[in-house]
Structure 1
Amino acid sequence: MSINTDIEAVDEIFQEGKVVDGFVLGAEVHRGGMASLYSATKEGIDVPILLKIPRVGRDQPVESLIGFETELTILRSLKSPYVPKYLGSGNMATRPYIAMERVEG
């Protein structure tokens, strides 16, 4: 059995200054038990952006990623001035993230 070494580790993909699908990552804003949050910018998007990256790995329960996918599904469907706007997302198998409007507070 061979291991695919072409897949980048999530920690290598999501670092300040890196570009992911056109999003330029800024500083890490918060690191929680299930995800990390980064400020970001993207040409053509005029609102503040937040990228949410799930914590994945051997020490993380699979429920964390399932919850993250559920959050993505819900965020895509909600449209309200009280909910951050969905701005994009990555492939959950290789580059898992949710890009959303950054709402202060």
Structure 2
Amino acid sequence: MTAATELHHPPISDVAITDVLFALSDPARLALARQLVDGPMDMAACSATGGPVPKATKSHQLKVLREAGVVRNVSKGRGRLLSLRRDELDAVFPGLLDSVLGTR
């Protein structure tokens, strides 16, 4: 990493279907992923559940999704931009996101 604000994202070739399924098995993480279906969002705009969620809990949930290869979390000014790695995941695991996220 060249800067403290850059986070590690696994290459798609290192992403395991078991890790993706585990990351999406938690209802709060699944809800976060579903919010990203229509495109990138500012991290502050994403909500982990319907009620207030501690910042540390939300950060952990996003870390699990990122480390599993489900989302990208990149710096954008003073905030962070989240996006679903849909194209990459669809290429490796066709139909998985549609099935799990209930999209398309």
TM-score normalised by structure 2 residue count:
0.31
Higher helix content, 1 or 2: 2
Higher normalized contact order (CA 8 Å, seq sep 6+, divided by chain length): 2
- Give the structure with higher Rg (CA): 1
TM-score normalised by structure 1 residue count:
0.31
